[in-house]
Structure 1
Amino acid sequence: MTARDIYLPVAAQPSVSTLVGLSQLAEVEGYERVWLPETWGRDAVTTLTSIAHGTTDVGIGTSLLNVYSRSPSLIGQTAATLQEVSDGRLRVGLGPSGPRVIEGWHGESFERPLRRTRETIDIVKQVLSGDSVEYDGDLFELSGFRLRSDPPEPAPPIDAGGLGPKAVELAGRFADGWHALLFTVDGMADRLDDFDRGVDLGDRDRASQRVTFSVPCCVLDDRERARDLTRQHLAFYVGGMGTYYRDALARQGYEETATEVFEQWTGGDRGRAIAAIDDDLLDALAVAGTPEECRDRLARFAGIDGVDAVNVSFPRAAERSDIEATVAALAP
């Protein structure tokens, strides 16, 4: 059975306690895990620590920590500590992010993102084993680091994010799972083929890996508000988050629309960018509308063969009441 998770809001929230409260709501409503992105604003580690202390059963996870702003050894230490404070409820999601974030915000060179992701996963797993880290890679040469605390038991799984074929193949080959975002049903099937190819190349056990598919959702009695909020959210990702989401949408057969949204958004005409997301594309990428129609629509994404968990995410402009209504309407 496909699990149902919550992707905590990427947009700024009034306080850490707001995010703890949403996690508590997810726990009460029966969601399996809450995932927290780390972009700007509050860091994921401190916030997830508060969530761990404020909940008892719901899993926690990072989706995603970038692999440039922290060293691999520090990510390993962080994962071990979060696993301890959450009593074994952690799952770690890692990814390269993009040059706009890494170079513009962190001042690091965005070089060899796939190789850096792969080596980071390798090193984090060594750290979590409790053994002395001895690593001779293309980007990292490490020797002698070892946890001074007991290693976590069990060690938290390490997932990888990715949109393109090679990134998804890497997740299947080296990680314990893959985090997907902004795919149609057909587009997701294509990338799952890449993931499975990686599984074969790495001689991995697919049954032990977890594919988590984040789907933008807004479920309200006010149908038009739900759809308007979600349409704006999709336009922001395609037009305002660099070229990765634009290119991912183009690969799925929407090159003309992806280009239009990107050009209008970056050119300053956000109204035209939003309008370029028509109803068919909105419904192909997201779940937006009334509770009656949306439960069936989410089931369509959850029913994709190879998807292990559907992650309910929210429009960036959604208010607290919109988020709570969506959580309740789509609760497992």
Structure 2
Amino acid sequence: MVLPYWLDRPDLEALGIARQASARGFERLWLGEMATFDVFALATAVAGGTSIPRLTVGPLAVGVRSPVAIAMGAASVATLTGTHVDVALGASSPHIVSDWHGRDWSGNPRRTRESVAVLRELLGGKRAAFSGRHIRTRGFRLRQPQPDSMIGVAAFGPRMTEVAAETADEVVLNLVPPAHIAQVRASIDAFAEARGRPAPRLAVWVACSVEPGPATYRQLASQLAVYLRPPGYGEMFTELGFGDLVRQARATTGRRTLIEGIPPELPAAVGAIGSGAEVLRRIDAYFNAGADHIGLVPTTADDRDGAETLAFISEHAPDLIPGPTGAKRPVGGGGIRSIGDGQR
């Protein structure tokens, strides 16, 4: 499950969604970071208010947070709450990195590679001693190492995909169609094989809504309007046939002016939206394309805290979770391991 941080919704809705995920037996929750809460503060609150045993914090912008800050944050949440904490890194966008934080957005593949290397050493309990092109740190060591923390990398574009395949435990994608999953699966397998290392797991965040109403489609459009402009996403949406929307987004500064023009076909192209059967078929399509793990992003405009969608999917999830060989298999016990938290 992924906390969605829907725009134009109350900030504290995130805690309600987390409680729903916990009540429905989800055992892994992703927490990104946008314009509401500091993610480590939110992770501490979620861990204290739910029974979810595993949190993934991120993707965090490598141009904003240093490896030391990320390691300290993850270790703080894990130590204070007793919850397992994984981390994910990403490039974010020029708007967030440069406009909000006044940091340089360039050089992200190299910066990410260096960040993963340093973060892995720090989480493992080693003292920092690194001098790279973008990352320089010396002397720091965690008081509470987290050697079992998994490191993910959000990949969009060939260079970041290569870095993720060669360094990360998990590659993370967001707002992509199943066909894109198949392409990335082939790429990361090839990059990893060339480096002589096991291929990382492939995770995808999928917006989901069972029986959506007009308010839900507007909620999805409001969020997608943010992604039409950034590099990579705009090109992907253009390939999907929405080039006019991308050009409009890049020619204007107003998100709200774009929302009315986004058709239902756009969220449907990069999510699992529709009847219960349609949602399950769509989730299955992502697995069949090569995803190991699906992070569900529930809508809330017509469904308070995503309760109905999460209840439906949790009831039907055992038939969708891939087993050790990639074949579908039921899951024993009462909970679900996020969705698709099996091993390829």
TM-score by length of 2: 0.81
Q: 1:180 to 1:74 in 2, by over 3 A?
A: same
Match of residue 47, structure 2, among 52, 73, 84: 52
Residue in 2 aligned with 1:23? 18
1:217 corresponds to 2:208: yes
2:166 to 173, 193, 199: 173
Preserved CA contact (<8 Å) 1:219 1:322: no
Name the CA distance, whole Å, in 2 between partners of 1:229 and 1:103.
Answer: 27
Secondary structure of the structure 2 residue equivalent to 1:135? strand
The alignment of Structure 1 onto Structure 2 pairs a total of residues equal to 311
CA contact (8 A) 1:168 1:194 kept: yes
1:260 counterpart residue number:
244
- Does the aligned pair in 2 maintain the 1:7–1:35 contact within 8 Å? yes
Partner of 1:289: 274
Distance across 1 between alignment mates of 2:215 and 2:150? 38
Counterparts of 2:81 and 2:110, CA distance in 1: 30
Using the TM superposition, name which of 194-203 and 42-51 deviates more. 194-203
Aligned to 2:7: 11
Q: Which amino acid aligns with 1:274?
A: I
Q: Contact (CA 8 Å) 1:121, 1:158: kept in 2 or not? A: yes
Instruction: Name the % identity.
Output: 24
In 2, the alpha carbon distance for the partners of 1:142 and 1:100 equals: 26
- In the alignment, which residue of structure 1 is the partner of 2:339? none
Secondary structure of the residue aligned to 1:302 is: helix
Cα deviation for residue 226 of structure 1 reads: 4.3
Please tell me whether the aligned partners of residues 30 and 56 of structure 2 are also in contact (alpha carbons under 8 angstroms).
yes
Aligned partners of 2:129 and 2:117: how far apart in 1? 11
Tell me, yes or no, if the aligned pair for 2:53 and 2:84 is still in contact at 8 Å.
Answer: yes
Summarize the Cα distance change of 1:292–1:197 in structure 2 as closer, same or farther, 3 Å threshold. closer
Structure 1 stretches lacking a partner, 5+ long = none
C-alpha distance 109-135 of structure 1, shift in aligned 2 (>3 A): same
Q: 1:200 to 1:86 in 2, by over 3 A?
A: farther
Q: Which amino acid aligns with 2:295?
A: N
SS in 2 for 1:318: coil
- In the aligned structure 1, how far is the partner of 2:34 from the partner of 2:118? 23
**What's the counterpart of residue 183 of structure 2?**
190
CA displacement at 1:244 relative to structure 2: 2.9
CA distance in 1, matches of 2:127, 2:86: 22
Shift in alpha-carbon separation, 1:106–1:271, aligned structure 2, 3 A: closer
**Which 10-residue stretch deviates more, 57-66 or 117-126?**
57-66
Shift, 1:295, TM fit: 2.2
Q: How large is the RMSD of aligned CA atoms in angstroms?
A: 2.4
Indicate conservation of the 8 Å contact 1:218/1:227, yes or no: no
TM-score by length of 1: 0.84
Aligned mates of 2:138, 2:219 — CA distance in 1: 49
CA contact (8 A) 2:20 2:305 kept: no
Change (3 A) 1:198 1:300: same
CA spacing shift, 1:90–1:8, aligned 2, 3 Å: farther
Cα–Cα, structure 1 residues 7 and 228, in superposed 2: closer, same or farther, change >3 Å? same
Secondary structure of residue in 2 paired with 1:97 = coil
> Which amino acid letter does the alignment assign opposite residue 145 of structure 2?
P
Deviation at 1:282, TM superposition (A): 4.3
Structure 2 CA distance for partners of 1:215 and 1:174, relative to 1, 3 Å: same
| C-alpha distance in structure 2 between counterparts of 1:132 and 1:229, whole Å | 45
* Equivalent residue in structure 2 for 1:37, among 32, 37, 52: 32
Structure 2 gap ranges (5+):
318-344
In structure 1, distance between residues paired with 2:274 and 2:44 = 34
> Are residues 1:96 and 2:81 paired?
no
TM superposition outliers: structure 1 runs of 4+ over 6 Å: none
Task: Determine the structure 1 residue equivalent to 2:111.
Answer: 116
Q: 1:51-71 CA distances to partner (integer Å, 9 max, x unpaired)?
A: 111122342112311112222
SS in structure 2 of the partner of residue 330 of structure 1: helix
Q: Residue type matched to 1:230 in 2? A: L
User: 1:100 & 1:180 partners in 2: Cα distance?
Assistant: 19
Counterpart-to-counterpart distance in 1, 2:260 and 2:9? 28
Change (3 A) 1:10 1:125: farther
After superposition, the C-alpha distances for 1:69-121 in whole angstroms (9 at most, x for unaligned) are 22221111112222223424211111111111111000111120111111111
Alignment partners' CA distance in 1, 2:14 and 2:110? 33
Counterparts of 1:199 and 1:73, CA distance in 2 = 27
Q: CA deviation at 1:285?
A: 1.7
Deviations along 1:300-320, one digit per CA (max 9) or x if unpaired, are 223322x111111145x7355
